[in-house]
Structure 1
Amino acid sequence: MPNRKKTKIVATLGPATQSKETIREMILAGVDVFRINFSHANYTNVLERIQTIREIGKTLNFTPAILADLQGPKLRVGMMKEEVIVKPGDEILFCTGEEFEGNAKRVYMNYDTFPKDVNVGEMILLDDGKLHFQVISTNKKDEVKAKVLQGGPLRSKKGVNLPNTKISLPAMTEKDIEDAKFAIKQEVDWIALSFVRDAEDLQILNNLIKEHAAFKIPVIAKIEKPEAVKNIKRIIAYCDGLMVARGDLGVEIPANEVPLIQKELVLVAKQARIPVIIATQMMETMITSLTPTRAEVNDVANSVMDGADAVMLSGETSIGNYPVQVIETMAKILKSVENSKLIRVPQEPPQIKTIRYITKSVCYHAALMANEIEAKAICTLTNSGYTAFQISAWRPNAHILVFSSNKNIITRMNLLWGVRAFHYDKFVSTDETIEDINNIACEMEFVEKGDYLINLASMPIQDKGMVNTLRVSLV
């Protein structure tokens, strides 16, 4: 356990990861979070996978977190009647209303208000930006005429991106609401919302969680639209984590701008002390090959160097031929770079004196002191997980060991950089509890005789209040 990497791996479940043995091997290889993509999810299968993960977790004494990823208002064309190749200069109608099979002249669009929302001259991109169309006219009712600028095969059910159009669709579709309710019922650890545009989108999901969940489930905002990048400071206030979803982001925004946007979003997340996931095409070649490209290795490494808490695999584990090997390969890359002195995180102390200021300040100084005295572990007692978020963001060299009697947060913490969380419910006195926790850290070989530990707790310990105490222990 002490040798596990600090940067976390998020792996997407799918047809390639159906068996119990594969899931078990993936956990042993280094998966910290399993992602359920509700764009393609079947409730019966999802329920089986969740039960399998939790059963295996009990036998391994480590259960990965479960992230429910909602589809959001994903725009798609309909089914095509025949094989269609469009060429530059061709004209085609995008039609709404009753669904039909498309051809070279007309294609169905699953976005009813598209003719009202779109304007002449705006772009329509299909199939991850492989096809480019420009709007010639719209009847503002049910038809949009467009000219092909960049051609190719026009296939069934392909995704549509509208980089210039202000979309009037709600942030959560009826499908998303039902999927969210199902995920809440299964007590997943995190819920991600796709195509976030502004803070109001997240409030809808937060209200749904408040209404249906027995406890707060943290929300991740997926950043994949230009509006989200523009409104990031407002979005940060209403989410508990960010995902840099580079697939759609790289279509809606020129691809050459994405690297700097990635760095900007990671920095914003670090300053807000919330986790950030880098996603899409990280190890894409390993869907069919046992060897990643040098560029992919660099991409994973640079994401860690930027300060990401986690890196995510999508098709590599959901439909790939080597779901276990890709995790093993990624884990090696993470371990080789995550302790580099070249990695920089925001070093300024907490400034805003909110109700949490004391806790923030204690966590900040714990991370600094741990590095100064070369403490091997920071052990914190928490009821909400707040201190884990804070300490993780400072990226101390020490192991971050979180102990809590609140079982709902134990697996949730597996997304946070460097954090290992354990169930603990023996709160007698401060001295006895800290001694007990230090003994556990020794038994698990995170520390040994002669090492320093830093303990964080709230006093009196029985009240389980906000952390207000820092103590240095020598094993």
Structure 2
Amino acid sequence: MPKRKRTKIVATLGPATSTKQILKKMLDAGVNVFRINFSHANYDDVKEKIKIIRELSDTHNYTPSILADLQGPKLRVGVMKGDIIVNKGDTINFVTGKPFEGTSEKVFMNYENFPRDVKKGERILLDDGKLIFEVVSSNSKDTVTAKVIQGGPLKSKKGVNLPNTNISLPALTEKDINDAIFACQQEVDWIALSFVRHAQDLMELQDLIKEHSEHKIPIVAKIEKPEGVENIDKIVAYCDGLMVARGDLGVEIPAQEVPLIQKKLVLKAKTARIPVIIATQMMETMIDSLTPTRAEVNDVANSVMDGADAVMLSGETSVGKYPVQVIETMSKVIKSVEKSELITVPQKPPHIRTNRFITKSICYHAATMANEIEAKAICTLTNSGYTAFQISAWRPDAHILVFTSNKRILSQLSLLWGVKAFFYDKFVSTDETVEDINKMAEERGFVQSGDMLINLAAMPITSKGMVNTLRVSQI
């Protein structure tokens, strides 16, 4: 039986991945989720890419997820006039208001409240922390004067981070609101919100989705600010997935603290039974080179061993020279470490008696029992996808095969570790249905004669209620 990877790959769309041929090759190489980065997206272009991805899904039996990633309150400087270099000890003014071309004396800042929010002595980091400034004074109207602490080339439209400042920007900017409405209209599978600081940020996006989408679109909270890490327990209660966005996180928080924060966030997500994506600089060298560094290979392997549901590529697939090869390389790394004994899963059975306690309990026991009896697959029938989230979180050795008549969740579940979803709409009787899906599992090469399977279903099968039955069968 071919070795199948369980950890999913998220690939960012961009100029390097604009043809149907490349997208098909990426799917063949192991992509499970396509990410649309709304920091650099053009609506017509996005529509076209989504159309191609859905056509490929229909003709080649793939079910990739589409993840719309909102920019969030990203602070940026304006356009520069030519090549500008600032040196240590120089003074520079950051000016809000009407955009203008920047010089080494003054640059435009896209954040209206900047002069009111920053205080003397606070740090301004630019271009992922390559440039460091310290606030000297602020006239609280439109200008902040700062001293250069670490100089270098000052480039156009680079991101700004304020690690010590409490910024007053809303989590959903006007651009994000428009982008989210557009994403709802395109019926994307997931929406990611950048710079999540509080649970309230997620509630605002939930309300917006409810208003503009007939279906629930799950939300991924991107953790990239210290407040997001501090408020993680509340955030986890209001999101459907987490992303450890190490780019901005490593600028806002000392870089050496990020590895442990990554481990902490993965553990929080697994305990909450929601998927977690590790993102940024995973195979950065492969933007221009066919070979990743040993450290990058190690990073991907460690993320898999931490128990991430998915690992994400950004520039490697959006603007890189080798979008297909980078996925092939990543797939090889994932497959080689996934079976390791060193990977541990918190094995505490569910104890909080919510209205879904029975379903949670059945999923937990299905995963542990599958390991005990060495079942090759856990087959679950679902209408909402809930059981897929639950079983996936326990990381069983068995294949997790999900059968659903709800086409909306087919691609949504592609983000979850180990989950493979299939369309199935013949709900006659429990016995017939179980036989039917076991046959499908065998035909698709997940199980063979003599293998044990675990089937989860809601009885009576026609009512499509909550899972209440666990059954062991043999091929």
TM above 0.5, one fold? yes
**Which residue is 1:359 aligned to?**
359
Confirm or deny: 8 A CA contact 1:2 1:444 kept in the other structure: no
Confirm or deny: 8 A CA contact 1:4 1:30 kept in the other structure: no
**Which residue is 1:123 aligned to?**
123
**Which residue is 2:324 aligned to?**
324
Distance 1:5 1:222 in 2: 24
Distance 1:98 1:188 in 2: 35
**Which residue is 1:201 aligned to?**
201
Greater CA drift, 292-301 or 82-91? 82-91
CA deviation map 1:375-413 (0-9, x unaligned): 000000001000000000000000000001111000000
- How many residue pairs get matched? 475
Give identity over the alignment, percent.
75
Confirm or deny: 8 A CA contact 2:8 2:416 kept in the other structure: yes
**Which residue is 1:466 aligned to?**
466
CA deviation map 1:179-216 (0-9, x unaligned): 11111001000000001111000111100001110110
Tell me the amino acid that sits aligned with residue 397 of structure 2.
N
CA deviation map 1:142-162 (0-9, x unaligned): 111100000001111111000
CA deviation map 1:329-375 (0-9, x unaligned): 00000000011111001100001000010000000000000000000
Confirm or deny: 8 A CA contact 2:3 2:335 kept in the other structure: no
**Which residue is 1:11 aligned to?**
11
Tell me the amino acid that sits aligned with residue 445 of structure 1.
G
Q: Which runs of 5+ in 2 are unaligned?
A: none
Structural mapping, 1:175-194, within 5 Å: 175-194=175-194
* TM-superposed deviation, 1:265: 0.1
SS of residue matched to 2:261 = helix
**Which residue is 1:388 aligned to?**
388
Q: Which runs of 4+ in 1 moved over 3 A?
A: none
Distance 1:2 1:462 in 2: 35
Confirm or deny: 8 A CA contact 1:126 1:159 kept in the other structure: yes
Tell me the amino acid that sits aligned with residue 442 of structure 2.
C
Structural mapping, 1:204-223, within 5 Å: 204-223=204-223
Tell me the amino acid that sits aligned with residue 348 of structure 2.
E
Tell me the amino acid that sits aligned with residue 459 of structure 1.
M
Confirm or deny: 8 A CA contact 1:13 1:35 kept in the other structure: yes
Q: Which runs of 5+ in 1 are unaligned?
A: none
Confirm or deny: 8 A CA contact 2:88 2:149 kept in the other structure: yes
SS of residue matched to 1:411 = helix
**Which residue is 2:310 aligned to?**
310
Tell me the amino acid that sits aligned with residue 310 of structure 1.
A
Tell me the amino acid that sits aligned with residue 396 of structure 1.
P
SS of residue matched to 2:290 = coil
**Which residue is 1:106 aligned to?**
106
Structural mapping, 1:341-352, within 5 Å: 341-352=341-352
SS of residue matched to 1:402 = strand
**Which residue is 1:245 aligned to?**
245
**Which residue is 2:423 aligned to?**
423
SS of residue matched to 1:422 = strand
Tell me the amino acid that sits aligned with residue 178 of structure 1.
N
**Which residue is 1:275 aligned to?**
275
* TM-superposed deviation, 1:2: 5.9
Tell me the amino acid that sits aligned with residue 250 of structure 2.
G
Distance 1:104 1:33 in 2: 42
Distance 2:98 2:8 in 1: 45
CA deviation map 1:117-144 (0-9, x unaligned): 1111100000010000000111111111
* TM-superposed deviation, 1:6: 0.5
**Which residue is 1:261 aligned to?**
261
Distance 2:303 2:263 in 1: 8
Tell me the amino acid that sits aligned with residue 25 of structure 1.
K
Tell me the amino acid that sits aligned with residue 441 of structure 2.
A
Distance 1:53 1:330 in 2: 21
Distance 2:410 2:63 in 1: 9
**Which residue is 1:92 aligned to?**
92
Tell me the amino acid that sits aligned with residue 200 of structure 1.
Q
Distance 2:313 2:383 in 1: 31
SS of residue matched to 1:31 = coil
TM-score (norm. length: structure 2)? 0.99
Distance 2:448 2:417 in 1: 23
SS of residue matched to 1:400 = strand
SS of residue matched to 1:39 = helix
Structural mapping, 1:127-206, within 5 Å: 127-206=127-206
Distance 1:259 1:427 in 2: 47
Distance 2:440 2:226 in 1: 47
TM-score (norm. length: structure 1)? 0.99
* TM-superposed deviation, 1:57: 1.1
**Which residue is 1:52 aligned to?**
52
Distance 1:102 1:285 in 2: 31
Distance 1:4 1:74 in 2: 38
Tell me the amino acid that sits aligned with residue 223 of structure 1.
I
* TM-superposed deviation, 1:3: 3.4
Tell me the amino acid that sits aligned with residue 91 of structure 1.
T
Distance 1:101 1:284 in 2: 30
* TM-superposed deviation, 1:4: 2.6
Distance 1:340 1:384 in 2: 31
Distance 1:368 1:16 in 2: 43
**Which residue is 2:20 aligned to?**
20
Distance 1:261 1:73 in 2: 22
**Which residue is 2:67 aligned to?**
67
Distance 1:213 1:466 in 2: 24
CA-based RMSD: 0.8
Distance 2:155 2:187 in 1: 37
Distance 1:428 1:289 in 2: 54
Tell me the amino acid that sits aligned with residue 432 of structure 1.
E
SS of residue matched to 1:54 = helix
* TM-superposed deviation, 1:89: 0.7
CA deviation map 1:17-69 (0-9, x unaligned): 01110000000000000000010001111001000011011121112110000
Confirm or deny: 8 A CA contact 2:304 2:334 kept in the other structure: yes
